[in-house]
Amino acid sequence: EIDPTQRASVQLNLANLAKQAGKQGEALALYREALLAEPAGHRGFNYRPRANIYSPSGGPSQNRGYYGNPMMNLPQNVFGYIDHQKSQAFNELKQAQKSASLSSSDGEQGKEKSAATNFLAELEQVARGYQAGALPAARNRAWESARLLLGNYFVEKEYDKAAELLAALRKGGMEDIDWFNVSLYLAQQKEEYSGMVALYDQLQQRYPARSRDIAVARAGTLIIAKKSDDAAKSIRELSQQRVPPGTILGLIDSLIGAGDKKLAKQLLEEHLATVSRNSQALTMLAKLSSEDHDYDRAIALANEGWERKAHGRQTGNYYYGGYYSYNYYPRYGQADNLGTDRQV
């Protein structure tokens, strides 16, 4: 008897052998069986209560593809771990479905077409059967099926189908962080940033213990959505919540990248006045002052930052590297390139 935890692997190996032997119908039947099998080895519902809150880093993301399997390249903090074996079975059936000339060497052409064309409908039925009150094994199977379908819909840019499936899952009682993460990712792909903000607000109510992470992600979304004033308000609120300076400065740097340097400069001034004389903040403000041709202030800020992190020359820490990332090359306590810029 086959170990249940190894069943999918055995089925895939048998399917690959049947495919190589030209027995397409038998191969597809085995792929389908592996795909629709219940997940093995889970006694509880397989969800991630401490999953990171999804935070966008820009516009719609791109899938590069991964050894012929683009689904495996989807962000893991959105989808969690997509079972590689089931993903392989899914792709084999998908390719067979797309193929216009299925092999009939084993005399089972009708069976081949049936296995290839019905698997999506069968998988959709399993996924839409999710019920929060069901046994863990049933919920695992439904959620795993849903992730495979959602991954495929994102790869194919079938966003309406993804939205319909997510709505069905929510109707069945699924509102875990993973559900919100996929919904946020979908809204990002569609550039529906107001929808993302609304989802973050819902997350705040459902997971108050994660409020800081949610607020950071929400602020980043507001920056991408070009709602700079709202983003600045969120950044100021975060500054009062003992959020690490690096997180705050990362958001301000995103504002700079979005082109709102005036507001970023104002936030840096406030940070230095009320939070700390952080060397990274000093460096960032020095750079902006230089761009405004305020060279005296830029040099003073750069020197102060250099003095606060002078030991970085020995430790090679992040802040020391920050001078170089902003094109500063201080020497003997002087911001030489700023002085050079001033003479030009």
Phi, psi of 331 (to 5 degrees): -145, 135
Q: How many residues does the chain have?
A: 344
What does the pLDDT read at residue 265?
96
- What does the angle CA 133 – CA 137 – CA 140 come to, to the nearest 5 degrees? 85
Q: Return all residues near 124 (Cβ < 8 A) that are at least 6 apart.
A: 145, 149, 165
Measured CA to CA, the distance from residue 116 to residue 21 in angstroms comes to 18
Q: HSE (CB half, 13 Å, CA atoms) of 66?
A: 13
**pLDDT for position 65:** 47
- Report the pLDDT value the prediction gives residue 85, as an integer from 0 to 100: 86
Q: Which residues pair with 334 in a beta bridge?
A: 331
C-beta of residue 15 within 8 angstroms of C-beta of residue 30: yes
Question: Taking the chain (344 residues) in consecutive chunks of 10 residues, what is each chunk's mean pLDDT?
Answer: 69 86 87 81 55 78 54 79 86 81 49 66 94 91 93 94 98 94 96 97 95 96 95 94 91 95 96 89 95 94 86 45 39 43 42
pLDDT of residue 48: 57
- The pLDDT, as a whole number, for residue 339 is 45
| pTM of the model as a whole | 0.79
Q: What are phi and psi of 172, to 5 degrees?
A: -80, -5
Domain ranges of the chain: 278-344
Cα–Cα distance, 138 to 129 (Å, whole number): 9
The pLDDT value given to residue 328:
39
Count the Cβ atoms, other than its own, within 10 Å of residue 168. Answer: 17
Q: Hey, what amino acid is at 198?
A: A
Please check whether residue 103 is in contact with residue 24, taking contact to mean a CB–CB distance below 8 angstroms. Answer: yes
3-state secondary structure string, the chain? CCCHHHHHHHHHHHHHHHHHCCCHHHHHHHHHHHHHCCCCCCCCCCCCCCCCCCCCCCCCCCCCCCCCCHHHHCCHHHHCCCCHHHHHHHHHHHHHHHCCCCCCCCCCHHHHHHHHHHHHHHHHHHHHCCCCCCCHHHHHHHHHHHHHHHHHHHHCCCHHHHHHHHHHHHHCCCCCHHHHHHHHHHHHHCCCHHHHHHHHHHHHHHCHHHHHHHHHHHHHHHHHCCCHHHHHHHHHHHHCCCCCHHHHHHHHHHHHHCCCHHHHHHHHHHHHHHCCCCHHHHHHHHHHHHHCCCHHHHHHHHHHHHHHCCCHHHHCCHHHHHHHHCCCCCECCECHHHHHHHHC
Q: Which of 293, 295, 301, 294 is nearest to 323 (CA)?
A: 301
The confidence score (pLDDT) of residue 288 equals 96
